[in-house]
Structures are given as structure tokens and as C-alpha cells.
């Protein structure tokens, strides 16, 4: 049985929405930020290709975006899901990567997880536990994630859905709870939910240098720490000196009001 047909039967009998929604017409789709694009380069791509979770984590700690991608929205998280790399996906998720994204073709990370020749259901679990409604989000051709599943894998996907139906779709009482509404992000317009820069974001130039390999992640981290210390020292040196004998220092306005400084 086609896994899409099986999913539809689960949703219908258990009281869930069976409509599909276009990612490109929703908040799942947003133009990449400058920091996302600066954080996408050959070094971080190679970390994914070689399955180096430790190095990927170090690159992210150097201040890169948690959702690096190119100008077309083709992203590191899409690549990780297409390769079925659960260790890498866990690194991304723990760092704050959003899975509620799509590329310019409308594909979400779940499309890529379904596209792979050898599905890794640990990856699928992590994605659906972040947003199970991604199963109803379609690309620009109207294709759902299950449209990407190889026919030879239909049976294992049906077995997977059967094993997870009570976790993701416990029976709903439509009479009491009403019809399930659309996913939250479907109610948002495209380009309204940009990926935020991380609190420890590197500058655009530094992010590009790290992502491309022109600057090592540890070098970048040390350089940023040194810059932060210098800023703190500069801020401290520009602070006004304490008043003599522990007296409270008056502002010029306070001094004028109290007559301080008059002969």
C-alpha cells in the first residue's frame, strides 16, 4: 500500500485534518538571511558529507547560523536529512536548528528524509516530534513528502506509520474538539518567519571565512573572545571615575540643582 494512502486512512479515522498545504504559500518558506548565506560554504558541506558530527558542532559554536543555506534555500539540514545522518541532525537540533523550513522548490527536510534510498526512521522521528504536520506540507508541484518515497520502500514506511500512529495521532473526538485546523505556519504569510541569528553570531565576514575554511572554528572562537574582552575593557575605561571619599557622584543637572560647584 502507498504510505500516503495509509496515512490518510489513519488521519481520517482518528479525527485529523487530511488537507495538504503548499509550503511556498506559508510561513514555512522564507528568504534566507544574510547570516544564513554567509554560514554556508565548502567546509560545513564537507562536514556533512563526511559525517563528522564533532566538527559540525565546532563550526556552529564558531558563530555560524544554525540553518546555513545558499541563496536558493538549499540547506545543511536538508542535506543531513537526505543522507539520513541522525548524529548530525541531533547536533543541529541541539544547536537550535529549525526543521520548519523549505527551499525554493518547496521541499522541507521531511521531503529529503523520505527521498533517501535507505530511510532512517530515527531521523523521521526527530522531524515529526518537532512538527508532525510536515507530512501535509507539499512542494511547488503539490507533492507531499510521501510522494518522494521509493516504491520499494512503501511497506517499511507503512510499518513505521503503524508503529507511530498512537504517538503522533491519538484518536480525537471531532464532535467534542471540532475539526483540526491547518498547521500554525500555514496561517502565516511567506517571508514573515525569518531564521533568527544566534546570540553568539559571528560577523558576516567571519562566518563566511569559517564556512569556507579560510579560518578555523577554534581560531574564530578565540578571536571573538579576544574582541569581546577588548570591548569590555574599552567600556570600563570610558566609565566615569568614582566620587572621592565614597560620596555619591552627582550628574551635572543634580549639581546645578543643589548649587554644588558654586563659589
Predicted TM-score of the model (pTM): 0.86
Confidence of residue 248 (pLDDT cuts 50, 70, 90): very low
123's grid cell: 531521523
Q: In percent, how much of the chain has pLDDT > 70?
A: 90
User: Is 64 among the domain residues?
Assistant: no
* Half-sphere CA count of 138, side-chain side, radius 13 A: 12
The answer to whether the CB of 20 falls within 8 A of the CB of 136 is yes
Say which residues have a Cβ less than 8 Å from residue 189's Cβ, sequence separation at least 6. 26, 27
User: Is 145 among the domain residues?
Assistant: yes
The pLDDT of residue 54 is 98
Say which residues have a Cβ less than 8 Å from residue 167's Cβ, sequence separation at least 6. none
User: Is 257 among the domain residues?
Assistant: no
108's grid cell: 522541507
User: Is 8 among the domain residues?
Assistant: no
Say which residues have a Cβ less than 8 Å from residue 241's Cβ, sequence separation at least 6. none
Q: Region 234-246: what's the mean pLDDT? A: 61
Residue in 146, 154, 155, 153 with CA at minimum distance from that of residue 4: 146
The gap between the terminal CA atoms of the chain, to the nearest Å, is 97
Query: Per residue in 113-125, pLDDT tens?
Result: 999 999 999 999 9
User: Is 206 among the domain residues?
Assistant: no
Give the CATH number for residue 83: 1.25.40.20
Say which residues have a Cβ less than 8 Å from residue 169's Cβ, sequence separation at least 6. 10, 11, 14, 16, 132
Planar angle of CA 243, 249, 250, nearest 5 degrees? 150
The pLDDT of residue 256 is 38
30's grid cell: 522564507
Q: In percent, how much of the chain has pLDDT > 90?
A: 83
Query: Per residue in 161-207, pLDDT tens?
Result: 999 999 999 999 999 999 999 999 999 999 999 999 999 999 999 99
User: Is 120 among the domain residues?
Assistant: yes
Domain extent, residue 117, equals 21-32+69-150+174-194
Domain count, the chain: 1
Q: Region 91-106: what's the mean pLDDT? A: 98
Query: Residue 6 in 3-state DSSP?
Result: helix
User: Is 236 among the domain residues?
Assistant: no
- Alpha helix stretches (DSSP H) within the chain: 3-14, 34-38, 42-49, 53-61, 76-83, 86-95, 109-115, 121-130, 154-168, 174-177, 204-212, 217-237, 252-258
User: Is 261 among the domain residues?
Assistant: no
Confidence of residue 240 (pLDDT cuts 50, 70, 90): low
Amino acid at each position: 500500500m502507498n504510505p500516503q494512502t495509509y496515512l490518510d486512512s489513519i488521519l481520517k479515522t482518528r479525527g485529523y485534518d487530511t488537507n495538504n498545504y503548499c509550503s511556498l504559500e506559508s510561513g514555512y518558506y522564507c528568504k534566507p538571511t544574510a547570516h544564513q548565506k554567509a554560514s554556508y560554504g565548502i567546509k560545513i558541506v564537507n562536514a556533512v558529507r563526511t559525517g563528522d558530527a564533532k566538527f559540525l558542532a565546532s563550526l556552529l559554536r564558531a558563530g555560524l547560523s544554525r540553518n546555513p543555506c545558499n541563496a536558493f534555500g538549499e540547506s545543511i539540514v536538508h542535506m543531513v536529512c537526505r543522507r539520513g545522518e541522525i548524529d548530525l541532525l541531533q547536533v543541529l537540533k541541539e544547536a537550535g536548528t529549525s526543521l520548519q523550513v523549505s527551499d525554493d522548490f518547496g521541499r522541507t527536510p521531511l521531503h529529503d528524509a523520505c527521498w533517501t534510498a535507505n530511510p532512517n526512521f530515527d531521523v523521521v522521528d526527530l522531524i515529526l516530534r518537532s512538527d508532525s504536520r510536515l507530512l501535509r506540507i507539499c512542494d511547488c508541484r503539490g507533492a507531499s513528502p510521501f510522494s518522494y518515497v521509493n516504491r520499494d520502500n512503501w511497506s517499511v514506511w507503512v510499518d513505521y506509520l503503524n508503529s507511530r500512529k498512537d504517538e503522533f495521532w491519538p484518536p480525537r473526538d471531532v464532535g467534542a474538539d471540532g475539526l483540526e485546523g491547518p498547521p500554525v505556519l500555514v496561517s502565516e504569510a511567506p517571508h514573515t518567519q525569518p531564521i533568527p541569528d544566534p546570540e553568539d553570531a559571528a560577523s558576516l565576514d567571519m562566518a563566511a571565512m569559517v564556512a569556507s575554511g579560510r579560518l578555523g572554528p577554534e581560531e574564530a572562537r578565540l578571536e571573538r573572545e579576544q574582541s569581546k574582552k577588548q570591548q569590555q575593557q574599552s567600556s570600563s575605561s570610558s566609565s566615569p571615575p568614582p566620587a572621592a571619599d565614597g560620596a555619591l557622584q552627582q550628574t551635572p543637572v543634580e549639581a546645578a540643582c543643589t548649587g554644588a560647584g558654586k563659589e
